[in-house]
């Protein structure tokens, strides 16, 4: 079975020296997976702010820990999984996955 390749370490490890998660800038060799995750994290952050929701409300609605929300949205320590993205889109009634 082939090994998955691409993202080595946390997503925030691909930030340029002056970068801030999830807005960047990112290093030139950043995998597409990390760039998409950053777009999702930024969109999630913005939609939550527009809705006036707090982290507890969102994490409860998504069925994740508050620390997981922070790891995805605020500090880029982890990639969001597909289940979390789908639940977030349903809970917030919006599309988070970027259109290409």
What does the alpha-carbon distance between residue 81 and residue 88 come to, in Å, rounded to a whole number? 11
DSSP 37-93: HHHHHHHHHHHHHHHT--HHHHHHHHTS-HHHHHHHHTS--SPPPHHHHHHHHHHHT
Note the pTM of the prediction, 2 decimals: 0.90
pLDDT at 5: 64
pLDDT tens figures, 9-41: 999 999 999 999 999 999 999 999 999 999 999
- Looking at the chain, the whole-number percentage of residues with pLDDT higher than 70 is 93
pLDDT at 53: 98
C-beta neighbour count of 39 within 10 angstroms: 16
CATH architecture for residues 29-92: Orthogonal Bundle (1.10)
Residue 91: is its pLDDT beyond 90? yes
pLDDT at 1: 46
């Amino acid at each position: 079975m082939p090994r998955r390749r691409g993202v080595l370490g946390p997503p925030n490890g691909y930030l340029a020296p002056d970068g801030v998660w999830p807005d960047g800038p990112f290093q030139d060799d950043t995998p597409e997976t990390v760039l998409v995750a950053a777009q999702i994290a930024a969109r999630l952050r913005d939609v939550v702010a527009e809705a006036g929701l707090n982290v507890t409300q969102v994490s409860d609605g998504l069925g994740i820990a508050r620390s997981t929300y922070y790891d995805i949205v605020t500090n880029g320590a982890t990639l969001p999984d597909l289940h979390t993205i789908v639940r977030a889109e349903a809970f917030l009634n919006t599309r988070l996955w970027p259109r290409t």
